[in-house]
Structure formats: C-alpha cells, structure tokens
Amino acid sequence: MKQKILSSLLLAFASLTCANVAYADENLSPIPQVSNEWRFEVTPYVWVPAVTASTFFKDQYIDTAQLTETNLVSNLKSGGMIAAEAHYGSWGIFGDIVSATIQKTGGANVTLATRYGPTPTQIADKATLQHNQITGGVSYTVFNNQNAYVDGLIGVRYISGTTTISLKASAGGLSQSIVDYSAASITDPVVGFKGRYRIADSTWYVPFYGDIGSGGGSNNMTWQGILGVGKTFEKWIDASLAYRYVYYDLKNGNGTEKATFKGPQLAVTFKF
C-alpha cells in the first residue's frame, strides 16, 4: 500500500508534466527574480508522512508508537495543508500550515467475570489524534541569478498534538464510559534556508528547504528538511514532488516525546 500511495503521487506529478509539455516556453524560467515589486505564492499540497513517536520517562525508554502512510490515509478524518509567501525586493514573509485529525475505532466482544458470574460484554474504543504544525517567519534573499535562488530565514515553529481515547463497555443493558485526554505543544524559534536550483537551463528545478531550532528550557529541538524535483509550466504555476522530514523533541515534566514525520509531498504553486 505504501508503494501504491507513492505511485499515485508520482502519477499525479507526471500527469501535470505531460499535460503542459507541448506548450513549454523556451524562455520560461523556474527561478524567481528579485525586484522592487510585490510577488506572491500560494501552495496547496498533500503530504503523506509515516509517523514514529517514542516516549521516555526520566530519560528511560518507555515505548514507540508508529503510524504508516497506509494507516494515516485510511484513518484520516479531516485535514488541510497550505503554504504561502509574499516578497518585496529581497525581503519576504512566509507561512506553512499542516493540520490533520486521525481517528480509529474498534470493538470486541468479551466475557468478563463479575459477581453475577461470566457476563458477555461489548467493548467499543475510539482513538482520536489532532496534530497541528505551523511554521512562519521572515526571509531575505542572499543569492539570486538565472540558475539559483536562495533565501535565508528566521521564524517560529509551533507544534501541538492532542490525543483522546474513549472506551465504552456495555453489558446487560448497562454501560460505562472512560475518556482519557492528553495534550502537548512546543513553540521553537528556527533559522534556515530555502530556495531552488535550475536544472540544465530548463523549466525543471530542484526545490530545497532546511531549518533547525530550539526553544531552550523544557523544549529541546526541532528540525525540518525538504528536497525534491519540480517543473514550471507557466509564469503563474509550477508543481513539485519532494520528500519531507520533520523532527521534534518535546520535554514535559519528567517525560520526553521524540517524534518524526517523513514521507512524500506533492505541491502545486500558484504565483501572482
């Protein structure tokens, strides 16, 4: 299934490419040029990461939970992903939002020993994970020519996660529910770079992004990296297929959570 998801993203990217190859402009460049005019980019995208989260208590390893790309797609209840930039001259501002709600339900029929003897019992469970990741800040163009564009950046990343687990046991017309709720969040300053490199004077390019940061105190570290391949179809639109990796390390009291999100990302950028 993991291969099917990646194949679907590759097929979508190839379809966008083939649909416009006959109309390619030889003078069209994927590299933006710095000028004293406003320019804007809006990028909706689909990111399908595998998730690994390890829990520690007083620096002692407790457990690791994993969510594959297949699990994420099959249990995704709602979500949205979008990035945007605005530039004037060498200065710019940017923002990126990832929000997803993952929910999994299950149930089982068991026989419990009670004071009335063996009692058939129906147990229903529902686990809901709400994840939000927001990165934003300011950028400054440090390099720009016909083949490359690089921005240095400084900003903030906010990551929050809430987990709700509910259990309901029913037997003999009676029922009992238990709900467990937990939440954690981090806000870290980050520094990094982003840009793109033109491939052989064509409309193809390599998009790249990297940042790292630490909040100090109870928060430890977060970093992010993106690398892929893209194509500019018109002056107002391009598309890219990339691999994205996000890591964060959250300390809360005596507990620590180390989590990674990694997987393919398909994006379409509208420029105006």
State how far the Cα of 252 lies from the Cα of 123, in Å rounded to an integer: 32
Q: What's 231's DSSP letter?
A: E
In a domain, 156, yes or no: yes
Rounded to the nearest integer, the mean pLDDT of the chain is 81
- Percent of the chain whose pLDDT exceeds 70: 65
Number of structural domains (the chain) is 1
Helix (H) or strand (E) holding 109: strand 91-114
The reply to whether 115 falls in a domain is no
Residues 221/212, Cβ–Cβ less than 8 Å: yes
- Whether the per-residue pLDDT at 59 is higher than 80: the answer is no
Q: 156 is in which domain, residue-wise?
A: 2-109+127-165+186-271
Give pLDDT tens digits for 147-158.
Answer: 999 999 999 999
- Under 8 Å CB-to-CB from 11, ≥6 apart: which residues? none
Task: Answer yes or no: is 152 within a domain.
Answer: yes
pLDDT digits (tens, 9 = 90+) for 73-117: 677 777 899 999 999 999 999 999 999 887 766 666 666 566 666
pLDDT digits (tens, 9 = 90+) for 232-250: 999 999 999 999 999 988 7
67 occurs within a structural domain: yes
pTM, whole model, 2 decimals?
Answer: 0.78
Find the CATH number of the domain harbouring 225.
Answer: 2.40.128.90
Cα–Cα distance for residue pair 118/121, rounded to 1 Å: 9
Which pair of structure tokens corresponds to residue 105?
């339900």
Residue 183 in this model has a pLDDT that exceeds 90? no
